[in-house]
């Protein structure tokens, strides 16, 4: 079903964008005709997988503290060492908070920009390592009890990222777009999704057993869809490498974020967790409508609450409480905190009379410190012991970059949208943004067991690998310009 719909959508997009490319269109028709039997079998497998409920799982010990507060055996500290242990924990947490605050300062951001370092992973991955170290035995700052207390911070960060993305997606973003934008966005999201989905699906099957039953397993389909959804995401910081077309690329990437939100919403609605604590049983479409309705409702509540704020401190406090409420109620219903907060933020952004400037300043001021603090918790929860996640990692990163290249290669011709080479390179060789990390972490909270840990490893590790490739390529281009005087705006990506 997915492959069939993808082929048809590509052909329709080319036709609606000013006429199809004859060679490509004929190839698509040929592929569609010759793969009819395969598509039919895949459709049957997908239908069976969607009809089956997910098996109940027990949260893995590494993530159980933030799911249900379950902790491992308590470490008994001698009475004479308890004061030192308390001081050590307080100083450690205070140091982490100070580092996150300093890293979010505008002067640090300008320094990163001058050094050509993306703030998404290169500056954030040290906080993942910091979380891993803080949970290790010799340090022991983030033990199970402390992680249970910090679990609201992780959900707040997911809600904050979703709310910020939704707030920046206002109606003006779609106004005055160049002709062919829809075609470019469709190719730039569908082809990375397809390449990541196909590549990682094969690897998931090989690591779990290549059988017909595996194709009908809802867990397999869920994991592949999550990886494909994350693969479509691109950090907005890629616009720094886009040159004069930075504004156009920025708008394209903002629209691309809709694909990630939609993908996560569909996965959370149609792949419902089962087991203790999950009481409501509704059809997937009902959960999807409930997600939208909840986002609109809490968005209106947030709007009414924030309008009552008078001082900046009161405004910030109400905003933090409101986003926490949105993320918390979504988590209680086992819905995506990112999606519900996105809908609330988008509603707030498009309501006339909303204090957009004030809210935008607050979001920008707190977004990065909250995100970096959440990376510490993510690092503490990261289970790096599953080798299958490390096997998925390079293939996920490579298939994502390959899909991005295909999207630009086949999306731009015939669209009428001209982008110079540096802008095309920015769309292809771009890091995964915070929204991509938030999607996979939100999935881990929704499905805290089984195979999800290897998906988290593939995405976080793949994000680091992608960032390394992006930085090496950017520096190679700068060196080539400095030595040979070659203009990066010439040639193709």
Q: What dihedral do alpha carbons 288, 291, 292, 294 form, nearest 10°?
A: 150
Q: Are 229 and 455 in contact (CB under 8 A)?
A: no
Enumerate residues 6+ apart whose C-beta is below 8 A from 187.
10, 13, 406, 407, 408, 410, 411
Q: What are phi and psi of 76, to 5 degrees?
A: -85, 120
Alpha carbon 21 to chain centroid, angstroms: 33
Residues of the chain with pLDDT under 70: 1-51, 72-73, 75-76, 112-123, 173-176, 208-215, 238, 240-244, 275-279, 478-479, 481-493
In this structure, what token pair is assigned to residue 125? 């991955």
The angle subtended at Cα 70 by Cα 69 and Cα 73, nearest 5°, is 130
DSSP state of 81: G
Between 387-411 and 218-231, two packed helices, what is the crossing angle to 10 degrees?
50
Alpha carbon 8 to chain centroid, angstroms: 27
Q: What is the reported pLDDT for 339?
A: 95
The pTM of the full predicted model, rounded to 2 decimals, is 0.83
Question: Considering only CA atoms, which of 185, 167, 189 is closest in space to residue 177?
Answer: 185
Four-residue CA torsion sign, 40, 43, 48, 54? positive
- Residue in the structure block whose two tokens are 């006339």: 352
In this structure, what token pair is assigned to residue 473? 């390529």
The helix (run of H) or strand (run of E) holding residue 254 is helix 246-270
Which tens digit of pLDDT belongs to each residue from 89-139?
Answer: 889 889 999 988 888 777 777 776 666 555 445 557 888 889 999 988 778
Question: Considering only CA atoms, which of 323, 333, 346, 328 is closest in space to residue 254?
Answer: 346
Length of the chain: 493
In this structure, what token pair is assigned to residue 314? 């009161």
Q: What is the reported pLDDT for 202?
A: 86
In this structure, what token pair is assigned to residue 345? 């933020």
Across 404-417, b (16+ Cβ under 10 Å) vs e yields bbbbbebbbbbbeb
Q: What is the reported pLDDT for 101?
A: 87
Q: What is the reported pLDDT for 338?
A: 95
353/356 Cα distance (integer angstroms): 8
């Amino acid at each position: 079903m997915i492959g069939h719909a993808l082929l048809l959508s590509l052909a329709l997009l080319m036709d609606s964008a000013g006429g199809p490319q004859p060679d490509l269109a004929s190839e698509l028709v040929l592929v569609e005709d010759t793969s009819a039997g395969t598509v039919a079998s895949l459709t049957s497998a997908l239908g069976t997988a969607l009809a089956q409920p997910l098996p109940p799982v027990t949260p893995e010990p590494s993530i159980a503290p933030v799911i249900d507060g379950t902790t491992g055996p308590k470490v008994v500290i001698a009475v004479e060492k308890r004061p030192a242990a308390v001081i050590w924990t307080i100083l450690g947490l205070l140091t982490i908070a100070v580092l996150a605050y300093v890293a979010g300062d505008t002067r640090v951001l300008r320094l990163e920009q001058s050094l050509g370092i993306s703030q998404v992973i290169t500056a954030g991955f040290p906080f993942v390592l910091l979380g891993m170290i803080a949970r290790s035995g010799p340090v022991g700052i983030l033990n199970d009890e402390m992680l249970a207390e910090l679990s609201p911070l992780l959900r707040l960060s997911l809600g904050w990222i979703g709310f910020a993305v939704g707030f920046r997606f206002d109606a003006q973003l779609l106004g005055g777009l160049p002709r062919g934008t829809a075609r470019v966005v469709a190719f730039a999201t569908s082809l990375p999704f397809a390449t990541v989905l196909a590549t990682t699906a094969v690897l998931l099957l090989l690591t779990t057993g290549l059988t017909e039953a595996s194709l009908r397993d809802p867990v397999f389909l869920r994991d592949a869809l999550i990886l494909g959804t994350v693969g479509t995401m691109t950090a907005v910081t890629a616009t720094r490498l886009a040159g004069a077309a930075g504004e156009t690329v920025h708008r394209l990437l903002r629209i691309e974020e809709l694909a990630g939100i939609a993908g996560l919403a569909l996965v959370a609605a149609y792949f419902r967790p089962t087991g203790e604590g999950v009481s409501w049983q509704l059809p997937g479409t009902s959960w999807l409508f409930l997600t939208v309705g909840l986002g609109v409702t809490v968005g209106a509540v947030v709007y009414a609450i924030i309008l009552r704020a008078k001082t900046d401190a009161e405004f910030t406090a109400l905003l933090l409480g409101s986003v926490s409420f949105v993320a918390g109620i979504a988590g209680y219903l086992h819905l995506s905190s990112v999606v519900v907060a996105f809908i609330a933020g988008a509603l707030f952004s498009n309501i006339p009379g909303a204090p957009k400037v004030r809210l935008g300043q607050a979001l920008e001021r707190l977004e990065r410190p909250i995100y970096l603090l959440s990376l510490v918790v993510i690092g503490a929860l990261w289970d790096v012991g599953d080798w299958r996640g490390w096997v998925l990692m390079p293939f996920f990163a490579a298939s994502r970059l390959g899909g991005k290249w295909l999207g630009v290669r086949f999306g731009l011709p015939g669209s009428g949208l001209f982008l110079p080479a540096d802008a095309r390179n920015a769309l292809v060789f771009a890091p995964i943004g915070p929204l991509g990390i938030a999607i996979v972490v939100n999935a881990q909270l929704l499905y805290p067991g089984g195979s999800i840990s290897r998906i988290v490893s593939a995405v976080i590790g793949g994000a680091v690998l992608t960032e390394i490739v992006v930085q090496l390529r950017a520096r190679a281009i700068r060196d080539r310009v400095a030595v040979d005087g070659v203009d990066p705006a010439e040639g193709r990506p």
